[in-house]
A and B are shown apart, each in its own frame.
Chain A
Amino acid sequence: MKRMGIWCCCLLTLVLSSLPTPTPAQNTPASSAASAATPEASKATIDKLSQLDQRVTAAQSAGDNAWMLLSAALVLMMTGPGLALFYGGLVRQKNVLAIMMQSFALMALITVLWALVGYSLCFGGSGPVIGNFQFALLRGVGVTPNPVYAGTIPQLTFMVYQLMFAVITPALITGATAERMKFSGTILFMTLWFLIVYAPMAHMVWGKGGMLNASLGGRFPTLDFAGGTVVHITSGVSALVCALYIGKRVGYPKQPMPPHSMVLSFIGACLLWVGWFGFNAGSALAAGGLASSAFVATHFGAAAAALSWSLAEWLKNGRASALGAISGAVAGLVAITPAAGFVAPLPALLIGFIAGMFCFWMVTKFKAIFGYDDALDAFGVHGAGGTIGALLTGICAQSFINPIFGDGKPVGGFDGHWRQVGNQLVGILLAWVFAIVGTIVILKIVDLTMGIRVSEEHEIEGLDITQHGEEAYNLKT
């Protein structure tokens, strides 16, 4: 199809270029263009055609690259300032800089690790569990596309786009350990976590030959369009493990710890919503119809979840809060992440609606029953939302949106391919196990070397002063 389109286009251009004055192309019938091409197409014509072929490829590449560079920037914006503001508003005034600094530090730290080995461990080679050192120090990563992953954009673009995912994923964990984790311990923890948990998960799901890869030869093809398992389950489940290991904040749950600025959180959540278009629609790795489909699904999922969380809250407390609405939107965005490029708009509404209710229950009821201190609900929103989203992806995915298993082959439950739900469960299980085991090991290492939790004295005084020597608000000076 695409080939034929290019030929027609070339012939049309040939005819038009032979006309003495430029005329609007729209009115020239394609048939007259075809008749103008003589059977004895000379060498010159063939040369011209191949030139045109190159130009068409270049034009597509330019379009795709523009969208992907923008998407990469949007995903970076999700971490800073999006997540930094969202989390920053939710902590107490004495800890706002510390939590923002954790997100910001990851923007720098993961970037350096990514250049050294990270990209290669995620996308080099074709092993079942982890990549190799093929692209270490970004060797061979230039403007030439890597056709294995994205044939129309420079590999540099693909590399930097994927980097932004690696930045935000560990940043999500900081929500669970907020207000009590040492800065030094955080840096060591995140370095190890990125190498031991994130890199293998990203390779297994998205890397060539990864055992969960759906399109490049995985044993258990798991559908994960933009990171439901890789990003949200791994970070959310690791967050829970961290919260359990590190323990409750001093005074929790007796002492009130309300958000110090709902306004900051509100702005942060809105930036997350916008940034998520880069996260999900960008995961099409091109600027075509699939990106549009993912964009719409993303938006619909967020909207439905904001409504359903608010509704649940209204029924339970008699009021719909601002924090509830924005938390719902984020929960919906999390749940739609694995599904975005596989589901139609209405199933996206359904996924969002379920996720909003489910995460509301996880955050208000489940957490209270078990009494762990997941301070900003990294597990309740990302772990729970990611899990339910990955499962619902297996049910709602349809081949007319994305025929990932080949033309006409069924994709998810709605296509009658219920086995996919089983594949999703394997992916979910593996992500959970990887996150739990990896995180426990890393926590032990960090605890034995740098220490993980600040002293009680420092915790009461606040992390801004004790960890960074600054205060967030010096409004009176």
Chain B
Amino acid sequence: MMKIEAIIQPSRLESVKDALLEIGIDGMTVTEVRGHGRQKGHTEVYRGREYTVDLLPKIKLELVLPDNLVNRAVETILKSAKTGKIGDGKIFLSRIEEAIRIRNEERGESAL
């Protein structure tokens, strides 16, 4: 089992979700987050006072998948989240030891 964490542009959320659904992935957790990598923030001016906003709004997707689905999912996210500009985000992969469904205490891949 692998966990995919993808930080993406808020504007790409819908297309990423749709693309994942098309390859049969329909479970995910979405969080609104703020952050920045190489992308610099912007400045806002209120009555002459300038504020630098360097933490920008992003969306974090979390999916835990059986190993055989991971590559296709990553390709799909890459394709659907890309705008080609700085600030498109990143994907992190990590191994997952165990998964448990709370309702019936199923364990392992069948709990996903």
Name the one of B44, B46, B48 contacting A365, with C-beta atoms under 8 angstroms: B48
Assess whether A363 is in contact with B47, with CB atoms less than 8 Å apart. yes
A259 within 8 A of partner (CB): yes
Assess whether B46 is in contact with A363, with CB atoms less than 8 Å apart. no
Within the assembled complex, what's the spacing in Å between the Cα atoms of A337 and B47?
23
Assess whether B45 is in contact with A377, with CB atoms less than 8 Å apart. no
B49 within 8 A of partner (CB): yes
In chain B between 21 and 46, which residues have their CB closer than 8 angstroms to a CB of chain A?
44-46
- Chain B interface: which size bin? under 10
Indicate the member of B44, B47, B51 with the most A CB atoms within 10 Å.
B47
Name the one of A259, A319, A368 contacting B48, with C-beta atoms under 8 angstroms: A368
Hey, which chain B residues are within 8 Å of A321, CB to CB? 45-46
Within the assembled complex, what's the spacing in Å between the Cα atoms of A156 and B47?
41
Within the assembled complex, what's the spacing in Å between the Cα atoms of A323 and B48?
10
A364 within 8 A of partner (CB): yes
Assess whether B49 is in contact with A259, with CB atoms less than 8 Å apart. no
Assess whether B47 is in contact with A258, with CB atoms less than 8 Å apart. no
Hey, which chain A residues are within 8 Å of B51, CB to CB? 256, 258
* Nearest neighbor of A367 in chain B, beta-carbon distance: B48
A308 within 8 A of partner (CB): no
Within the assembled complex, what's the spacing in Å between the Cα atoms of A321 and B50?
13
Assess whether A377 is in contact with B46, with CB atoms less than 8 Å apart. no
A327 within 8 A of partner (CB): yes
Interface size in chain A (residues, C-beta < 8 A): 16
Assess whether B46 is in contact with A323, with CB atoms less than 8 Å apart. yes
Q: How far is the CB of A38 from chain B (nearest CB, A)?
A: 73
Q: How far is the CB of B57 from chain A (nearest CB, A)?
A: 15
A253 within 8 A of partner (CB): yes
Interface residues of chain B: helix, strand, loop or mixed (majority): strand
Query: Beta-carbon contacts of B41-71 to A below 8 Å, as 1s and 0s?
Result: 0001111110100000000000000000000
Query: How many contacting A-B pairs (Cβ < 8 A)?
Result: 22
A474 within 8 A of partner (CB): no
Query: Beta-carbon contacts of A351-372 to B below 8 Å, as 1s and 0s?
Result: 0000000000001110110000
Hey, which chain A residues are within 8 Å of B46, CB to CB? 258-259, 321, 323
A324 within 8 A of partner (CB): yes
Hey, which chain B residues are within 8 Å of A32, CB to CB? none
* Nearest neighbor of B47 in chain A, beta-carbon distance: A363
Assess whether B47 is in contact with A253, with CB atoms less than 8 Å apart. no
A317 within 8 A of partner (CB): yes
Hey, which chain B residues are within 8 Å of A259, CB to CB? 46
Within the assembled complex, what's the spacing in Å between the Cα atoms of A327 and B45?
14
Hey, which chain A residues are within 8 Å of B48, CB to CB? 363-365, 367-368
Within the assembled complex, what's the spacing in Å between the Cα atoms of A131 and B74?
80
* Nearest neighbor of A365 in chain B, beta-carbon distance: B48
Within the assembled complex, what's the spacing in Å between the Cα atoms of A256 and B52?
8
Within the assembled complex, what's the spacing in Å between the Cα atoms of A363 and B47?
7
Within the assembled complex, what's the spacing in Å between the Cα atoms of A319 and B44?
11
* Nearest neighbor of B48 in chain A, beta-carbon distance: A364
Q: How far is the CB of B86 from chain A (nearest CB, A)?
A: 22
Assess whether B45 is in contact with A253, with CB atoms less than 8 Å apart. no
Within the assembled complex, what's the spacing in Å between the Cα atoms of A317 and B49?
11
Hey, which chain A residues are within 8 Å of B47, CB to CB? 323-324, 327, 363-364, 377
* Nearest neighbor of A368 in chain B, beta-carbon distance: B48
Within the assembled complex, what's the spacing in Å between the Cα atoms of A327 and B44?
16
Within the assembled complex, what's the spacing in Å between the Cα atoms of A253 and B51?
11
Q: Provide a sorted-by-A list of 8 A–B residue pairs whose CB atoms are within 8 angstroms.
A: A256-B51, A317-B45, A323-B47, A324-B47, A364-B47, A364-B48, A365-B48, A368-B48
Interface positions of A (Cβ within 8 A of B): 253, 256, 258-259, 317, 319, 321, 323-324, 327, 363-365, 367-368, 377
3 tightest A-B CB contacts, nearest first: A364-B48, A256-B51, A363-B47
**Extra pairs beyond A259-B46, A367-B48, A368-B48 (19, CB < 8 Å):** A253-B49, A256-B51, A258-B44, A258-B46, A258-B51, A317-B45, A319-B45, A321-B45, A321-B46, A323-B46, A323-B47, A324-B47, A327-B47, A363-B47, A363-B48, A364-B47, A364-B48, A365-B48, A377-B47
